[in-house]
Structure 1
Amino acid sequence: MCPRIRISLISFAVVLVVSGCKPAAEPTSQDAAPADSAVASAAPATWPASLNVMGDGFPNAGDACRRIGETEATVNYLDDSATLAGCLSADEAAKLGGTVVGTVDGVTLVSVPNTAAIPGDGDGQGDAKVAGTDYNATGPIRCSGYKGAAAGMCEAGVVRDAETGPYIEVTLPDGVKRTIFFNKDGSFLSFSTAQADGTAAMPISSSREGDTTIATLGTERYEIPDVFVQGD
């Protein structure tokens, strides 16, 4: 009888020791999820649909910020004399040197004066090229009428050192480009047109409003400031 009791006591002690040595449960991925979610919510990971994001970097290709076009969310921030840029982080926005004008869906919006973004406009740097392009300057200009489009902003780039005079390439909402030619004195010359797309049959005209050239092709209208064409 005694030996049987001794064996039972020893077995009970072993169970207690083994139970005390069981390793603590490691946290699951679900346990860590709240912390990860908090980090992810600090800034948007992608550009929101509420913004018209243009290009592949601002002020230069590959940069973190982007040019922002006109939408209902940004219409009050657009300015003829400045580029509206958006950055996914406040730190990147601060590097642009412009004025923070608002935030839309986590994106910081910055108004950057065109003269600050255009090399060669009285800044002592010469009429340099915008990195990764053949343009001497890039920026938005007012445009309307393409396929019935309402007034808005179109991205444009200017080549000032062409042999026959400056010309501007305007990128339209669907990616089509319009080339507008100027004489060496900065006066309007013509548009590039073609029979294939019907533009050759469209009437061309121009007028002046202050220091801005209004160039029209059929129902299309483009407003080009003198400073954009020739620098200052």
Structure 2
Amino acid sequence: MHTTLKISLTTLALALVLPGCKPAATDTATPAEPAVETATPATTAAATPATWPASLNVMGDGFPNAGDPCRKLGESEATVNYLDDTATLAGCLSADDAAKLGGIVVATVEGVTLVSVPSGGGTPGDGDGQGDSKVAGTKYHATAMLKCAGYKGAAAGSCEAGVVRDGEGGPYVEVTLPDGRMRTIFFNKDGSFLSFSTAQADGTAAMKVGSSREGDTTIATLGTERYEIPDALIQGG
């Protein structure tokens, strides 16, 4: 009997101890993964700006007016066959802009549309009272690319020019030089050459002034400088 009681007490002791020895429940929940934010590439706000090819001699900041999308073009290997003393050669990056100029499309160079715009074209202005018109946005009755050479030793090329036909003493032509300076050439009312605008400050007053004729063109010279001005630019048509 003592043996049976001892076993019973032992059994009771184990029953009391075992629940307390139960291992703690293992937390099997998968830890939350950190949120991953997907970076959204910044959207380019503007398209890559169009660029003018190096083969073109682009002049000014707009044609026919400043800020316009087309540009005047000077002489280069790509344009030499399209330059005309009685017209302005312009380049436009789109065919739509070229069509708005109202000239003649003469070529396309590296995606740029070349347009020959008659120099006499413009909007009616006060002119000389005889219906002469002004080139839009300018004081000139016509503009053109003139053959020029010799300014500060420059080789023969083309210079942008504009004519005012109703000057007080007669017509005068303003030629834009390669460095942006202006050279003014005066004519008598009958269209014959008169003189240049010169000054002591820049040394032009000491330069020899002269002129000659080649067909229907006046060759005006100032020292080593040479400018070819066609009668059509001075007199209109």
Shorter-chain TM-score bucket reads: 0.7 to 0.9
Is the aligned partner of 1:205 residue 2:210? yes
TM-score normalised over the length of structure 1:
0.75
From 121, 132, 140, the equivalent of 1:135 is 140
Structure 2 gap segments, 5+ residues each: 1-24
Look up the match of 1:219: 224
Q: Aligned equivalents of 1:118 and 1:146: distance in 2?
A: 33
For residue 100 of structure 1, what is the amino acid of its counterpart? V
* Cα distance, 1:129–1:113 mapped onto 2, change above 3 Å: closer
Q: Which has the higher helix share?
A: 1
Q: CA deviation at 1:119?
A: 6.3
Percent identity between the two aligned chains: 73
Q: Aligned equivalents of 1:226 and 1:184: distance in 2?
A: 12
Instruction: Give the secondary structure class of the aligned counterpart of 2:152.
Output: helix
Give 1 or 2 for the bigger CA radius of gyration: 2
From 158, 175, 188, the equivalent of 1:183 is 188
Q: CA deviation at 1:60?
A: 2.8
From 96, 99, 102, the equivalent of 1:97 is 102
Instruction: Give the secondary structure class of the aligned counterpart of 1:178.
Output: strand
Q: CA deviation at 1:173?
A: 0.5
Look up the match of 1:193: 198
Q: Over aligned residues, Cα RMSD in angstroms?
A: 3.1
* Cα distance, 1:118–1:155 mapped onto 2, change above 3 Å: farther
The Cα offsets for residues 50-99 of structure 1, whole Å up to 9 and x where unpaired, read as: 32221232223332211011123322332223211011111111222222
Look up the match of 2:14: none
Structure 1 gap segments, 5+ residues each: 16-21
Conserved 8 A contact 2:70-2:97: yes
Q: Aligned equivalents of 1:54 and 1:83: distance in 2?
A: 11
* Cα distance, 1:224–1:102 mapped onto 2, change above 3 Å: same
Q: CA deviation at 1:118?
A: 8.4
Conserved 8 A contact 1:118-1:138: no
Is the aligned partner of 1:109 residue 2:97? no
Which 4+ stretches in 1 moved above 6 angstroms?
Answer: none
Q: Aligned equivalents of 1:139 and 1:118: distance in 2?
A: 16
- Count of matched residue pairs: 211
Conserved 8 A contact 2:74-2:89: yes
Instruction: Give the secondary structure class of the aligned counterpart of 1:200.
Output: helix
From 74, 82, 106, the equivalent of 1:77 is 82
TM-score normalised over the length of structure 2:
0.74
